[in-house]
Amino acid sequence: MKLLFKIILIILLISNKSFAKAGKGELKLDKYTLEQFLIYIYAEQPDKNIGNNLKANPLVFSVDENGWSSMYYYCNFDQCLDANVERQAKLGCEKSSNFVPCWTFARKKRVVWKNSINKKNLNLSPYIKQGKLYVAKILQEKGFYDGDIYELEGIKDTIEKNEIINNNQTDISSTNNNKSLSDQIKDLKDLYDSGALTKEEFEKAKKKILN
């Protein structure tokens, strides 16, 4: 009986490994898939059942050979079992891709898909703090994306917000000489209330006016 159990266990392990292959080839992610990968790598949409006191971490990201469809999973605990998750990601990806073959693109924060430029596993952990734009540039340099990274969701929104803030700060500076101190602070408060300025930016600008 024990021998039979061991044989079944070995078969299951071999079966799981057959689904856990990293992709190879000149993969080009489309805009939506790269946006999904950035969501994955920054763990922006963890499992809806995750508790507020638990931390979500990227676990596996699977993508089809065309770069059009993907499936990813998070690990919602400090330690989690991931023996079968690559198989689940592969099958889920292939279902959404109309059964175009899918392979593992990333394990946790490491891109494991090999192409002519990315010949070794690419660890993104050191770059994540630099922001989405920086990570997107690295993926583009590694040959995984040919589009305009400044049009990606999340990156485009951040750039537009910074432009609004810079324009507002310029407007504030140009009108300082023509308005009273109270009017300048009121205008600044209006910008803060509208959401154009963060609290930190509001306090910094107010301090500048008062000084």
What the block records as the tokens of 181 is 């101190």
Separation between Cα atoms, residue 110 and residue 78, nearest integer Å: 18
Per-residue pLDDT reduced to its tens digit, 8-65: 444 444 444 444 589 999 999 999 999 999 999 988 755 444 444 456 789 999 999 9
DSSP alpha helix (H) spans, 66-154: 85-96, 132-141
pLDDT tens digits, 158-192:
655 555 445 555 444 544 555 677 777 777 777 76
On whether the pTM is more than 0.75, the answer is no
What is the DSSP code (8-state) at residue 7? H
- Where are the chain's structural domains? 12-147, 156-210
Q: Which residues contact 169 (CB under 8 A, 6 or more apart)?
A: 205
Q: CA end-to-end span of the chain, whole Å?
A: 83
